[in-house]
Amino acid sequence: MTRFSTKTLLIAAALGALIQSAEDAGIAVISDEIYHGLDYAFRAQSAASLSASTIVVNSFSKYFCMTGWRIGWMVVPPSLLRTMERLQQNLAISVPTLSQIAAQAAFDGRDYVTPDDVKGLLRPTFRHRLLLRPEAEVGGQTADSLLDSVIARVTPPR
């Protein structure tokens, strides 16, 4: 395996030629596209749009200013999907819930997170961890009302 990292962006024609040359030689292409979106001379093109067999790795770190949040994604050919799922399941337990909420807001193009965003992602997890059905009670409160009161305490007013 050869790692070819230039920390530069290629124009679409050059990237396409590089991918074609690698594929002709039987070399798999993994494109690190973490700097996409921070392109000023030209709009970067994803390697995934040029070849169905290319693997693309990206992150929220640079473009969404979320360095240290440790959340990203991969685009892989269908033939590698199950292999990548197994690797991910063994290399990372889970992305923290708040990182997932912030990442979803970033993908939606928002610069804020609402209490409903938090509730939508936390409610199923909250129920599962407490082994509760929505109508089950803890200290006289349902799981949903208990979660609502917890969120109300930690959510700043907008």
The 3-state DSSP class for residue 73 equals strand
The pLDDT of residue 137 is 61
Sign for the CA dihedral angle at 88, 90, 95, 97 comes to positive
List of the chain residues with pLDDT < 70: 1-7, 110-115, 117-139, 143, 146-147, 150-158
Q: What is the pTM of this model?
A: 0.62
| List of domains in the chain | 12-93 (3.40.640.10), 114-154 (no CATH)
| Residues facing residue 32 across a β-bridge | 57
Rounded to 5 degrees, what are φ and ψ at 96? -55, 145
Residues contacting residue 123 through CB under 8 Å, at least 6 positions apart: 144, 147
The pLDDT of residue 1 is 43
Question: Residues 127-157: pLDDT tens digits?
Answer: 555 555 556 666 677 767 766 776 666 555 5
Residues contacting residue 114 through CB under 8 Å, at least 6 positions apart: 158
The pLDDT of residue 17 is 95
Q: Which helix (H) or strand (E) holds 32?
A: strand 30-32
